[in-house]
Amino acid sequence: MTTGNKTSATIDKPYKLLIADDQPQILEALRLLLKPEGYQLELVRTPALLLEALSHESFDGVLIDLNYTRDTTSGQEGMDLVVRVKEIDPQLPVVVMTAWGNIDLAVEAMRRGAGDFIQKPWENARLISVLRTQMELHRSQKRTQWLEAENRILRAPGAPDFIATAPSMRQVIETMSRVGPSDANVLITGEHGTGKEVVAQMLHRLSSRSSRTLVAVNTGALPEGTFESELFGHVKGAFTDARTDRIGRFELANGGTLFLDEIANIPIRQQAKLLRVLETGELERVGSSRTQSVDVRIVSATNANLRQDCAEGRFREDLLFRLNTVEIELPPLRERREDIPALAGHFLARHATRYRRQIQGLEPSALQLMLQYNWPGNVRELDHTVERAVLMARGDRIDAVDLALHPQRSSSSSTASGGSQSLDEMSLETVESILIRKALARVGGNVSQAADALGLSRGALYRRIEKYGL
C-alpha cells in the first residue's frame, strides 16, 4: 500500500506534481523541463480528469491552465477549478498559468486560493522557482501539522520494561520474538490488566516500523458518533463541531503500528468500516470523498472471547480473520507468580521516584502477602497497589498493612463476591467493585453489555474499571 498524505517518513520523497492543460505541446514542454528536476508528474488535459486524479491520489502541488475550451480566454473554467481543488484539499498549493499580460486573471485566481501564477510563455527559471517554493512550503506545513498531532496524541514517557521470567510466559516471549519483526497483524488476548499494551509496544519496538511512534487507541471507549472521526479523521465542516481538519489515527500510524485496544467493544455497524480499511488499505476522512492510502500494521487486544462473540453475532468473523494472523494469549498474574517480586520492585522504584519517597524495599511480610494474593486485577492491580503503598508507607520499607489487601481476597478459594465478609462490613467502593466484576463475568468481559446491565455509560464503566484495577 502506498502512503496517502505526506508524513515524516515520506518527507524526502520526490515532489509529485499534477499538471492540467488542454494543449499537448504545453504538457510535453513541461514534462521535458520538470522531469530532469526530479519531479514525479501526472499530466491531464481536462478539469474533470484533474479532479478524478485528486480523488484517488495525493500530490504535493497542482499546476493548471486557466482556459480549456477552444477560443475561450475568460479563465472562468480555471477559476472554478481552483475553487474545486481547494475544496478537496485546502492546503494543496495551486499554481495557475495564464496568457502573457493577463495579470487581472492571475490576481483573481490567487484571491480564490491559488498560491502563485506563471505567465505563458514562461521563463524556465521562474517556473521552477515558483513550483519549488510552493511545494517546500506545503511540505513544511504538513511536517508542522504532523508533529503537533504527534505531540498532542501520541507521546508517552519512556518505553515500558517487559518483565517475564515465569515459565507460563515462555510461549509469549517465543511468539513475540518470531512475529515481532514481521508485518503480521497480531491479536493479544487476556484478562483485564494483564499487560496487553506493554506487549503491543514490545512488538512495535521489535519491528522494522520502530522508528515511527506506536499509535494507541481504546476503541471500546470511543463514542459511536465519533468513532469514524477518531480513526479516519475529518475535514472542516464535516459536522457541527468540525472547525478544522483533523488527522485520524490511521493516518498518524501510516508507516507504523496502530494498537486497537478493547477491539471486541467496537459496535457491529462500525466493524464493517474498519474491515474495509484493513482489506484495501484505503480510507476517506469524514466529510471528504478523497481516498487516501495507508500502510499500517494492526495490533489489537481484547479480554473477550471473540470466537464466541462471532458465533453469537456480536463480532464479524471476517474482521477476526484480519486481526489475528497471530494470536498471543497472556496468562493472568496468578499463573505467573514468579514474576511478582520483580514486577513489584519495578513499580516500587518508579513510584518512589515519582512521589519523592525514600522507600528502600518490601518487608518479607508484604512480599509474602503479594505472593498469596489472587490478583483479580492482574498486573494493573499490582501496580496500583504498590503506588498506594508508596504513598501510605510510614517507614522506609513497605509493610503488609501498607498494601491494604483484604485477606478474604488472598486465597484462591475466595470469590469476587468478597468471600465470607458480610455486606455490612464492606465499603461502598468494595461493593461497587464486586458488582462490576460480577457484571463483567456474566457477559464474558464485554464492557458494553456490562455497562448496559449496570445502567452506566461505557465511559463511566471504563473509569471504574481503571479505578478498581479490574
Count of the separate structural domains present in the chain: 4
Q: Where are the alpha helices (DSSP H) in 261-316?
A: 268-280, 306-311
Same domain, 224 and 81: no
Q: How far is the C-alpha of 358 from the C-alpha of 249, rounded, in Å?
A: 41
Same domain, 227 and 182: yes
The three three-digit cell numbers of residue 4, written as one number:
496517502
DSSP three-state, residue 107: helix
End residue of a domain, out of 312, 331, 350: 331
Q: Is 290 exposed, middle or buried (0-12, 13-18, 19+ CB in 10 A)?
A: middle
In a domain, 200, yes or no: yes
Contacts of 303 (CB under 8 A, 6+ apart): 189, 190, 191, 192, 262, 264, 445
Q: Residue 281: what residue type?
A: G
In a domain, 219, yes or no: yes
In this prediction, residue 459 carries a pLDDT of: 72
Q: How far is the C-alpha of 88 from the C-alpha of 53, rounded, in Å?
A: 11
In this prediction, residue 206 carries a pLDDT of: 87
In this prediction, residue 212 carries a pLDDT of: 86
Same domain, 204 and 146: no
DSSP assignments along 330-397, one per residue: PPPGGG-GGGHHHHHHHHHHHHHHHHT----EE-HHHHHHHHHS--TTHHHHHHHHHHHHHHH-SSSE
In this prediction, residue 161 carries a pLDDT of: 67
Same domain, 421 and 314: no
* Residue indicated by cell numbers 519496538: 205
DSSP three-state, residue 286: strand
Handedness of CA 24, 25, 27, 31 (dihedral sign): positive
Same domain, 325 and 348: no
Contact 323, 188 (CB under 8 A): no
In this prediction, residue 420 carries a pLDDT of: 44
Same domain, 300 and 339: no
The three three-digit cell numbers of residue 187, written as one number:
491479536
Same domain, 344 and 305: no
DSSP three-state, residue 59: coil
Q: Determine the structural domain holding residue 438 and report its residue range.
A: 417-470
> For residue 405, which phi and psi values (nearest 5 degrees)?
-95, 130
Same domain, 317 and 405: no
Q: How far is the C-alpha of 329 from the C-alpha of 299, rounded, in Å?
A: 13
- The β-bridge partners of 260 are 217, 300
Q: Residue 28: which CATH number? A: 3.40.50.2300
Same domain, 423 and 408: no
pLDDT by residue for the chain (470 residues), tens digit each? 333 333 333 335 788 999 999 899 999 999 999 999 999 999 999 999 999 888 878 889 999 998 886 555 677 888 899 999 998 888 899 999 887 667 778 788 888 989 999 888 899 999 999 999 998 888 887 777 656 654 544 443 444 567 888 888 888 888 888 898 899 999 999 999 999 999 999 899 888 898 888 999 998 788 877 888 889 988 886 676 767 788 889 999 999 999 999 999 898 889 999 999 999 999 988 888 888 899 999 999 999 999 999 999 999 999 999 999 999 999 999 999 999 999 999 999 999 999 999 998 999 899 999 998 999 999 999 999 999 999 999 889 999 999 988 754 443 333 434 444 455 555 666 777 778 888 887 777 788 888 877 777 777 787 777 777 66
The distance from CA 277 to its chain's CA centroid, rounded to whole angstroms, is: 13
In this prediction, residue 9 carries a pLDDT of: 35
Same domain, 101 and 224: no
Q: Is this model's pTM higher than 0.95 or not? A: no
Same domain, 384 and 406: yes
β-strand 291-293 against 282-284: which pairing, if any? antiparallel
In this prediction, residue 131 carries a pLDDT of: 94
In this prediction, residue 58 carries a pLDDT of: 82
Q: How far is the C-alpha of 341 from the C-alpha of 352, rounded, in Å?
A: 16
